[in-house]
Chain A
Amino acid sequence: MKEKKWNMEVRSNTKKLKFWSLLWMVSMAIATFGPMFVWPENTVLNVLAILINLGCGGGMILVNRKLINSLDELQKKIQMDAMGIALGVGVVGGLGYSLLDQTNVITQDAQISFLVILISLTYMIGLFIGKKRYK
């Protein structure tokens, strides 16, 4: 009964994280495409959309923290290892990418989206390796 309660808490927190992540993605899409297609050059609506996006992002961060706190010690270790690698790769890779832009080695301007993709992929690979290692 105690275990089921623990499992249920993890599942419930996972569902909440999915919901908040979806909400954040939708608010990001609205804040990005709204000014292009729905309300061109309306600063008030732009600021409002960005504030809503930041609020959804804050909710997502808090729920993610709650989920990680509800995991057991091995699951937390796997998460921590993956996050540590993702953070390191993000900082080193991000600054290296920025240097490539500053020194004009690459012709395009550095894009923040590339950094987000790099961190996300590294985190997912880290999780996969961690789960495999302790299987």
Chain B
Amino acid sequence: MKNRLKVLRAERDMTQADLANELSVSRQTINAIEKGKFDPSLPLAFKMSKLFHLSIESIFENDEAKE
């Protein structure tokens, strides 16, 4: 699943470690999500949505929906 996490993080001048700390996950998890290697759970996606004040759809792009 593609996402805008890296861009959103950069806009807020946050490191992966900062974001990981805000979301109570490891830096490795943030890195894997940014690279599209791992899809976050719904609760984690909601946490991101709340943190960036954006809807989940505007952070994540569902590849299957495009097809």
Contact A73 B44 (CB under 8 A): yes
Contact B32 A134 (CB under 8 A): yes
Interface residues on A, range: 10 to 19
Contact A6 B24 (CB under 8 A): yes
Q: Chain A residues near B40 (CB, 8 Å)?
A: 73
Q: Chain A residues near B37 (CB, 8 Å)?
A: 133-134
Q: Among B21, B24, B28, B44, which residue has its beta carbon within 8 angstroms of that of A134?
A: B28
Which residues 24-55 of B sit at the A interface, judged by CB distance below 8 A? 24-26, 28-29, 31-32, 37-38, 40-41, 44
Q: Among B21, B26, B29, which residue has its beta carbon within 8 angstroms of that of A4?
A: B21
Interface residues on B, range: 10 to 19
A77–B40 alpha-carbon span in the complex (Å):
11
Q: Among B21, B38, B44, which residue has its beta carbon within 8 angstroms of that of A3?
A: B21
User: Mask for B15-27, Cβ within 8 A of A = 1, else 0?
Assistant: 0000011111110
A6–B24 alpha-carbon span in the complex (Å):
6
Q: A131-B28, A135-B32 are known contacts; what are 13 more A-B pairs with Cβ within 8 Å?
A: A2-B24, A3-B21, A3-B24, A6-B24, A72-B24, A72-B29, A73-B44, A74-B25, A74-B28, A74-B38, A134-B31, A134-B37, A134-B38
